[in-house]
Amino acid sequence: MFPSLERKKARYDELEKQLQDPAILTDVSRMLAIQKELGGLARVAAAVRRYHSLLEDIEATQMMVDEETDRETRAYAQAELTELIAERTKVSAELEDIATAGDSITRGALIMEVRAGTGGDEAALFAKDLFDMYMAFCINRGWKTEVLELSPTELGGLKEVVFSITGEGAFHQLQFESGGHRVQRVPETETQGRVHTSAATVAVLPEADEVEIDINPEDLQIDTMRAGGPGGQKVNKTESAVRITHLPTGVVVKCQDEKSQHKNRAKAMRVLRSRILEAQQQKQHNERAETRRTLVGSGDRSERIRTYNFPQNRMTDHRCNLTIYKLDRIMAGEMDELISALVAFDREERLKLVDMAE
C-alpha cells in the first residue's frame, strides 16, 4: 500500500534473520542494537503482514462468492467477505497513520522542558501552570513521569522544569507542544485588574537511549558544584550538582535536583542524549524545511503556537486555527480534544506529502 512501509517490513524480516546468526548472538552490542531497531519496526511489520494476509483472504473469498452455486454457502461466503473488507479498511487506516506519523508513533518516551519566558514572575507562574497541566494529563493517561530538574521561584513559579514522560503513544501525542505559549490574564500581583501578557516556552525531546546515541566519554566536560536554590534552599555542603558539556556540539546540561552526584549525573546524561538527538533531527528537518513548513510538528521553540486567554476562558492554537472555550478544563489536564485535533491536522498534512512522494 505504501512503498515506504514495505521497505520497513523488508528491513524487519532482514533483522529477524540476522538474530539467528551465531556471530551476532555472541556480540552483545550488535544484538542489542538489532533488537532496538526490531522493536521500532514491529508495529509496521505486523500491520503490513496483516494487510497482505487480508488481501489474500479477500481474493479467495471473492472467488468462492463468484463460483459457489449453493445459495446458503454463497451467502455465508458473502458475509465473510463483508467482514474481511471492513477489516481491510481498518488496517488501511492504521497503515496511513503509521506512514504519516513517521518514527514518532513508535516512540513511547520523551523529555519535556518548560521554561519561563518574558513576563517576570507572572511568566514563572504560568510555566508552573503548564507543568501542572501536563502532569495532570499524564495521570489521566496512566503515563509515568519523573522530574529531572526543577528551578522554583520564591513566589511559587518555575524558572525551568525538565521531566520525563513514559507511556504508550506519549511522544506521538505530545510532540506538538514544542514552541512558545502565550498567556493573557490578570496577575495576582496586579492591583488595578489589568490583563497582562507573558510567555513560556516548551520543548519536547524524544528520549534517546545509549544504543541510539553513543557518546564518547572523551567528548564530555563534567563539572561539579554545590546545588543552590531560592532563599538558600537546597544548598548542599557537598558538590552534588553536575554540569555536563558535550564538546562537539556545545550542548550543556545541568542537574542538581538529587542530593546524590551519581543520580544527578545519570539524569543529566539522559537529558544530554535527548538534546543531541533533537539537534540531529532538527538538522534533518531544516534540510527539508520547504516540505515541512506547513506541518504542525515543526518544533520551533521561537514560534508562538498557542494563546491562553483566562478572562475569556479561551485557548487558541494558531497552527490549526483551533479555538476551545474550556481553558479551565484544559489547564486541569483535560487536553484530549486539543491533542486529537493536532494529531489529526498533522496527519492530513503529512498524508499529502506521502501521496506526493509515493
pLDDT in tens, 256-280: 877 788 888 888 888 888 888 777 7
The pTM is what? Answer: 0.66
What CA–CA distances, in Å, run from 37 to 11, 14, 42, 98, 110? 9, 11, 9, 16, 18
SS3 163: strand
| Half-sphere CA count of 190, side-chain side, radius 13 A | 14
Q: What is the pLDDT of residue 354?
A: 55
Can you list the alpha helix ranges (DSSP code H) found in the chain?
3-18, 22-25, 28-67, 71-101, 120-141, 170-174, 261-287, 289-292, 327-331, 336-357
Give phi and psi for 28, each to the nearest 5: -60, -45
Higher-scoring residue by pLDDT: 308, 225: 308
Residue 219, pLDDT > 70, answer yes
**Residue 99: strand pairing partners:** none
- H helices of 102-231, where? 120-141, 170-174
| Average pLDDT value for residue range 41-66 | 92
Residue 270, CB half-sphere, CA atoms under 13 Å: how many?
21
Would the CA dihedral through 341, 343, 348, 350 be positive or negative? positive
* Residue 41's pLDDT band (cuts 50, 70, 90): confident
DSSP 301: T
Contact criterion met (CB below 8 Å) for 266 and 253:
no
Q: In whole angstroms, how large is the CA radius of gyration of the chain?
A: 25
Q: pLDDT per residue over 292-305, tens digit each?
A: 444 454 444 457 89
Q: Give the chain's domains with CATH numbers.
A: 3-103 (1.20.58), 107-206+299-356 (3.30.70.1660), 217-283 (3.30.160.20)
